[in-house]
A and B are shown apart, each in its own frame.
Chain A
Amino acid sequence: MKELDELVRVREQIIPRAQLKRLAKRNNHAGLGFLAFHFSLIAGTGWCVHLALGTWWIVPAVFLHGVTLATLFAPLHETSHGTAFRTVWLNEAVLWLCGLIYIFPPRWFRYHHAFHHTYTQIRRRDSAMVLPKPITLGQYLFYVSAVPVWRRNLSYLFNHAMGSLAPAEHEYAPADQRPALIREARVMVAIYAGIAAVAVAYGLWAPVIYWLLPRIVGESYARWIRVAEHTGCAEGSDPQANTRTTLTNPFIRILWWNMPYHAEHHLCAFVPFHALGRFHEQVHDKLLVANGGYFKVHLDLFRRFIRLKHGAHAS
């Protein structure tokens, strides 16, 4: 594809291949470290939920726990690229585990996300385009509510488990992979059904309290973060304009496995998450970088793009 070759030419003008090769070196210890930290956070916030049961503290506790569960999107994303770990089976195992907890078929996510990288910010082709302009306040709030994402993700899971891929989805995955995608969804649904059956049989509320409810609540936070990646950026295939890096504090960066370095990630997806900081240092002046954190990005979006309704101002 000539467009892909052009993307590589643009990239080579920004950073030579020899430098990229050094950045792209893989290892297992970085991913294991981040994974241990992430699951420790999940255990910690889960413990907070347990301590808060029967009190009003349950509300912030469930939200916090939901944040740690929803940010499993970050290792799901990194492992879908195959870059989280050097060892392939380890990468695939973590991909599956995260997909199961996050509730998104992991193999399907890989194909769906690959399409997003090929057609980033190209209207009607980008599989993950978020809030294309013009943007109304209603559209923004609806997206951040996570309702459309849940609707989409659950329909993928259950439709695939029923053996059906929508015509639009055929473009994402090659025909020879569709049986595997259907099998994957059926295995996931069977696992969830098994958990539900055990919970009902023994009168257990734990799967709801410590997983489902916080998972649903926390997704809004994830959607809010993900708005910053491409919303308001130029449409088209120019990696220097269609994706935004958001500079934020180290805790958020670690929680998101360095995904806030999103422009760098789209410029060269084979640079693993643990090298994105160094990559940023080498190319930041050639990419779209937002200083001042996520609140500032959203404030800027409201100021420049988000309207009360089409043709009106939000203020």
Chain B
Amino acid sequence: MEQPGKWHRALPFADIEDDDVVGVTLGDQGEHEVAVYKLGGKCYATADRCTHQSAKLSDGLVIDDFIECPLHQGRFHIPTGKARSAPVSIPLQTYPTKVEDGVVHVLVEDIRFD
């Protein structure tokens, strides 16, 4: 079954350092803030805002396969979005990714602006 949403071109995979994260804005109106990660050569993507107090996760730190919020150091498991340590408790949205011709694409559901 096809996943809902649209594939958005994000950034060249080579632009992300190993075990690091880059924040991108996707969508026609920049409505999706997405954090794109490179972990062990694989690509992942999550929402870029911490579910605790909305700090940008792409300003944070990748530690093993967790992203640590730069503000209060709450951690999320990058591949699954699970909240790992307080003060975060609400999981992070994750997005499917693919790398085509060296470019990361992220599947996000479009937001309708009426």
Contact = CB atoms under 8 A, between A and B. Distances in A.
A269 B53 CA distance: 15
B86 A270 contact: no
A290 B13 CA distance: 45
Interface stretch (B36-44, B56-64, B94-102, B104-112): B56-64
Interface string A1-15: 100110110000000
Interface residues of A, number: 28
B70 interface: yes
Interface string B50-90: 00111110011101000010111111000000001111011
B24 to A, nearest CB: 15
Contacts of A174: 52, 89-90
Given A114-B72, A176-B90, A270-B70, A24 B56 contact: no
A114 B54 contact: no
B87 A111 contact: yes
Contacts of B87: 110-111, 114, 173, 177
Given A81-B73, A82-B73, A88-B84, A5 B56 contact: yes
B71 A118 contact: yes
A26 interface: yes
Contacts of A304: none
A152 interface: no
A107 interface: yes
A298 interface: no
A14 to B, nearest CB: 14
A107 B88 CA distance: 11
A301 B65 CA distance: 46
Interface in A1-56: 1, 4-5, 7-8, 17, 21, 24, 26
B72 A117 contact: yes
A268 B75 contact: no
27 contacts: A1-B54, A4-B53, A4-B55, A8-B55, A8-B59, A8-B70, A17-B59, A21-B20, A21-B61, A26-B63, A82-B73, A82-B74, A110-B87, A111-B86, A114-B52, A114-B53, A117-B72, A118-B53, A174-B89, A174-B90, A177-B86, A177-B87, A269-B70, A269-B71, A269-B72, A270-B68, A270-B73
Interface of A: 1, 4-5, 7-8, 17, 21, 24, 26, 81-83, 86, 88, 92, 107, 110-111, 114, 117-118, 173-174, 176-177, 268-270
Given A4-B56, A114-B52, 13 more contacts: A1-B55, A8-B56, A8-B70, A17-B59, A81-B72, A82-B68, A86-B63, A110-B72, A117-B71, A173-B87, A176-B89, A177-B86, A270-B70
